Amino acid sequence: MILREAIELLKADVQYNQSVQLEAEIHKARASDLMSEVLADDAVPDILLTGLCNSHVIRTASVFGIKAVVFVRGGPVDQKLIDCALDENIVVMTTRDSLFTSCGKLYAAGVRAVTENHNRRD
């Protein structure tokens, strides 16, 4: 699916985006509240879902090359976080669904985990 469809599915409020980004394909997702876990992965997901709500999620996404972040359970995202998203050009959205429900809905719609396809150098 494309990001625009994922947004509809999660009934998400988009907090920051550029319209072209909404056409990006979403195949692989990652769900975690620990950013160092995300950074230690081998493959980059198209979307990150998290219950952790601070600017470091955006910085982690930027550093790791993740284009879109979903904050679950309604966020809330503050201005600092939005400013950071603007700086790093990361799509930010919030959904009222829990992490469990958000992941479940995306999985049911065909999105898969990033770990299923390891991208190791060896």
Partner 1 sequence: MKVKELIQKLNLELTSTSTALDAEVQNAYASDILSDVMSHAKDGSVWITLQTHRNIVSVAELKSFAGIILVGDRKPDDETLKKANEENIPIFSTKLSTFEIVGKLYELGIRG
Partner 2 sequence: METRLDKTLEILFELKVGDAMKKDVVTVGPDDAMGKLNEEMSIHRISGVPVVEGKKLAGIISISDLIAWLSAGVKDSKVKDWMVKDPQCLYADQPLIHAIKRFDQLRFGRFPVLDRESGELVGIITNGDIILGTLKKLEQDYNEEEVRRYRASHFFEDINADHLDLTLAFIITGKDFDHAGRASTTMKKNLKRLGLQPEIIRRAAIASYEAEMNVVIYTDGGTMKFTITDEKLTIIVKDRGPGIENIELAMQDGYTTAEPWVRELGFGAGMGLPNIKKCSDFMDLQSVVGEGTTLKLEIMIGVNDESKRINPEAKS
Check binding of 37 to partner 1 (CB under 8 A).
yes
**CA-derived radius of gyration, the chain:** 13
Q: Which of 57, 68, 69, 103 binds partner 1 (CB under 8 A)?
A: 103
Q: Which of 1, 55, 101, 105 binds partner 2 (CB under 8 A)?
A: 55
Among the residue ranges 12-20, 57-65, 87-95, 110-118, the one whose residues contact partner 1 (CB under 8 A) = 110-118
Check binding of 25 to partner 2 (CB under 8 A).
no
Check binding of 73 to partner 2 (CB under 8 A).
no
Tokens found for residue 69: 């972040």
| Residue in this structure with the two tokens 């625009």, named with its chain if needed | 4
Tokens found for residue 118: 């390891």
> Between vectors from CA 63 to CA 35 and to CA 88, what angle results, nearest 5°?
110
Check binding of 122 to partner 2 (CB under 8 A).
yes
